[in-house]
Structure 1
Amino acid sequence: MDAWDTIGVIAEVIGWVGLGVGLACFGLVLLIRIADGRWLPTDAVIADEADGSTVRWFAEGEFHARRLSAAERHHVEDVDEEKAFYREREPEHLRLHEPPAGRRVLRLLGIVFLALALVAGVVGVIGLLVG
């Protein structure tokens, strides 16, 4: 067994591991997307009233509004407009903070591992042709 055979075997193992982990990451991203839905950005207007604060936003062709809890109002800056995110399937649900980055991290890891598998596959083919 010469050096190119060894490189080919190592590349094949790395390729299969990268492919498996990359596809698993994309599978988790898909499950999160199905469970949590897609959150789209919008501008929300905060209205302070005597009996509490209300947030209003425009989504999917309609205006929506809901009351802010004291904790939510405490975390919102003292501005009239706030960057917010609403759920695409249910535009009456609003987040005043950006959705968690877990989905983006998993998607990036999936891309990295699939690219690693692709590079390992190319190295394995080169090792097969040279060796």
Structure 2
Amino acid sequence: MADVVGLIAEVFTWIGVLGALGLAFLALVARIADGSWAPTRAVVEHTDDGSLVRWFDDQGTVNEAPLSAHDLTIVGGRDMADIEYRVGWHNRMRLSKGSALVRALVRLSFLMVGVAALAFAAGWIALILEG
């Protein structure tokens, strides 16, 4: 019985380690593809056609972007909002710090490390109990 548990634990250890490395690599690629973002303060304008934000970028250019329904729930009725804008691009912004995809990949990578660590410990416990 301990041999079966040890074998299953070893398989899950390798799956966890290789999965964590693969997901960490994908997170790195996604972070590089996401590009550079800079924080700034933007003015929120509520109009009859919808809400939008306006801000100055690092070149001194005025940018504007419409707020989605989700963004509007975060901003609420405020006149100013802290945003991040894409450096080198015009009229591109987000309200969150960092990419949600990168955060998800990093968290999944840590989850796979946890699976690998638990499987490694289970394999050692099975080996000790066998002897």
When normalised by structure 2's length, the TM-score is 0.69
Provide closer, same or farther for how the CA distance between residues 105 and 74 of structure 1 changes in structure 2, counting only shifts above 3 A.
Answer: closer
Please give the residue correspondences for 1:101-116 in structure 2 after superposition, counting only pairs within 5 Å: 101-116=100-115
Q: Structure 1: give runs of 5+ residues left out of the alignment.
A: none
Match of 1:68 in 2: 64
- Partner-residue secondary structure (3-state), 2:114: helix
1:56–1:63 CA contact under 8 A, matched in 2: no
User: Equivalents in 2 of 1:12, 1:74: separation in Å?
Assistant: 47
Match of 1:126 in 2: 125
Match of 1:10 in 2: 8
1:55–1:65 CA contact under 8 A, matched in 2: no
1:5–1:127 CA contact under 8 A, matched in 2: yes
State the Cα distance separating 1:43 from its structure 2 match.
2.5
Q: Structure 2: give runs of 5+ residues left out of the alignment.
A: 47-51
User: Equivalents in 2 of 1:80, 1:63: separation in Å?
Assistant: 23
State the Cα distance separating 1:114 from its structure 2 match.
0.8
User: Equivalents in 2 of 1:95, 1:29: separation in Å?
Assistant: 21
Equivalent pairs, count = 118
Provide closer, same or farther for how the CA distance between residues 44 and 120 of structure 1 changes in structure 2, counting only shifts above 3 A.
Answer: same
State the Cα distance separating 1:28 from its structure 2 match.
0.6
Provide closer, same or farther for how the CA distance between residues 14 and 33 of structure 1 changes in structure 2, counting only shifts above 3 A.
Answer: same
User: Equivalents in 2 of 1:29, 1:83: separation in Å?
Assistant: 25
User: Equivalents in 2 of 1:73, 1:8: separation in Å?
Assistant: 54
Match of 1:19 in 2: 17
User: Equivalents in 2 of 1:97, 1:11: separation in Å?
Assistant: 42
Provide closer, same or farther for how the CA distance between residues 66 and 118 of structure 1 changes in structure 2, counting only shifts above 3 A.
Answer: same
User: Equivalents in 2 of 1:73, 1:32: separation in Å?
Assistant: 24
* Identical residues among aligned pairs (%): 29
Quick check: 1:84 aligned with 2:80?
Answer: no
Amino acid at match of 1:44: A
Quick check: 1:28 aligned with 2:26?
Answer: yes
